[in-house]
Amino acid sequence: MVNRALRLTVVGAGVVFVVWSSMGQALQLQSTDISNGGTLRLAQVHSRCGGDNRSPALFWSDAPKGTESFAVTMFDSDANGGKGFWHWVIVNIPATTQNLGAGLAPAAALPNGALQIANDFGVSGFGGACPPPGSGVHHYTVTLYALPTRTALDSNSGASAAASYLKLHALAAASVEGTYGR
């Protein structure tokens, strides 16, 4: 039987991270680019919506014992009539990695073995926020998953299928959420 714990952690300048883990440890996720509950910066907004389309800088710690790889997703739960939209999926980040720099290109500067899966824009890599005008404020959740193995996912796996796999197999997860509307 797996013992799961839910923790609400407050870190620094009012940034809140919801964390669950199967080992009772609190996986921590931080971003210098996303303030939890705050409006996304133009750097994380898609270029077709007037932004820079740069992936956020992420930092993490306290991975549970048995972590062999990490994965990161960014999901807009308000898009497509509540069905959502996958903006970013990166898998097979080595367990020795503790951060991702801002502005990762689709193939450049990835940690050894890491892979970006095609997002719902149809491209591998980060796709910034770009909700339709007048659709209200959208919520963008960036989630870090600690996994017990490297995944067998490839660049053609599909973002939704990859995210389902990550949720099913994660030892722990931590999230930060930003908002954006136009």
The full set of domains in the chain, from first to last, is: 5-180 (3.90.280.10)
CB of 179 within 8 A of CB of 140?
A: yes
pLDDT at position 109 over 90: no
CA–CA gap between residue 93 and residue 90 (Å, rounded):
7
Angstrom distance (rounded) from CA 146 to CA 39: 26
Residue in 61, 31, 19, 44 with CA at minimum distance from that of residue 170: 19
pLDDT at 169: 97
Of 154, 172, 159, nearest in space to 95 by CA = 172
Q: Are 88 and 119 in contact (CB under 8 A)?
A: yes
Overall pTM > 0.75:
yes
pLDDT tens per residue, range 74-107? 999 999 999 999 999 999 999 999 999 999 876 6
pLDDT at 21 > cutoff 60: no
- Mean pLDDT of the region 44-70: 97
Q: Once rounded to an integer, what is the mean pLDDT over residues 46-63?
A: 96
